[in-house]
Amino acid sequence: MTAHEKPTGTAVLPQPGHARNPGMPLDLDWVASARANSSAIARRAAQMPARRSLKGVHQAAWLARAVTLIDLTTLSGDDTPGRVRRLCAKARQPVRADLLEALGLPAITTGAVCVYHEMIAPAVEALKGSGIPVAAVSTGFPAGLSPFALRLKEIEASVAAGAEEIDIVISRRHVLTGNWQALYDETRAMRAACGAAHMKAILATGELGTLQNVARASLVAMMAGADFIKTSTGKESVNATLPVSLVMVRAIRAYRGTTGHKVGYKPAGGISKAKDALTYMALMKEELGDDWLRPDLFRFGASSLLGDIERQLEHHVTGAYSASWRHALG
Q: Which of 71, 230, 262, 308 is catalytic?
A: 230
* The dihedral formed by the CA atoms of 230, 16, 190 and 179, expressed in degrees to the nearest 10: -70
Sheet holding 165-169, edge to edge: 264-266, 228-230, 198-202, 165-169, 134-137, 112-115, 70-73, 300-302
Q: Which of 71, 167, 227, 308 is catalytic?
A: 167
User: Do you know the residue count of the chain?
Assistant: 330
Q: Which of 6, 90, 266, 276 is catalytic?
A: 266
Residue 90: active-site member: no
Please answer whether residues 290 and 50 qualify as being in contact, where contact means their C-beta atoms are separated by less than 8 angstroms: no
Residue 167: active-site member: yes
Please answer whether residues 265 and 242 qualify as being in contact, where contact means their C-beta atoms are separated by less than 8 angstroms: no
Phi and psi at residue 267, in whole multiples of 5°? -80, 140
The secondary structure of 225-243 as a DSSP string is T-SEEE---S-SSS---HH
CA dist., res. 223 & res. 5, Å (int): 14
Residue 298 in 3-state DSSP? strand
Amino acid identity for residue 64 in this structure: A
Residue 266: active-site member: yes
Q: How far apart are the first and last CA of the chain?
A: 42
**Helix 180-194 × helix 211-223 angle, to 10°:** 40
Residue 264 in 3-state DSSP? strand
Please answer whether residues 95 and 313 qualify as being in contact, where contact means their C-beta atoms are separated by less than 8 angstroms: yes
Q: Three-state SS across 142-161?
A: CCCCCCHHHHHHHHHHHHHH
Residues designated as active site: 167, 230, 266
